Amino acid sequence: MKPEIKYVNYGIACRIGGKVYLNKRLKKKEWKKLHDVILTHELSHSEGFNKKDFVSDLNNFDLEPVKLDYYRFVKKNPTTWIEYLPFWFYEGDIVFSPGMIGLWAFVIALTVLGIIF
């Protein structure tokens, strides 16, 4: 079944179950190519989060051609920064990003080790 696409005011994009959430600002003409690449990436995810999805998010090879646009989009739209939090709310539900949980755990561990040693 094709997932429902919903446009929201925050974050960049994510897939949660049968829905793909995209930042509504991606619909602007200047971000068309970025929108299409991100949507294709999100549609490639499974409904549940598995190892393939995790590796896909870490590699992000499909974003390479539009990487500069991606960073410009994030810089121009501070509401996208929520994407880098390990937990957030979507439609009243608490959702999590396993990739960001891993990244934050790694950063915190390095920080603690840096303080100790």
Better-scored residue on pLDDT, 72 or 17: 72
pTM of whole model > 0.75? Answer: no
Better-scored residue on pLDDT, 27 or 56: 27
What is the C-alpha to C-alpha distance for residues 19 and 34, in angstroms, rounded to an integer?
Answer: 19
Phi, psi of 101 (to 5 degrees): -60, -45
Kindly give, in sequence order, each residue whose CB lies less than 8 Å from that of residue 33, ignoring residues fewer than 6 positions away. 66, 69
Q: Is the per-residue pLDDT at 57 higher than 70? A: no
**76 SS3 class:** helix
Confidence of residue 83 (pLDDT cuts 50, 70, 90): confident
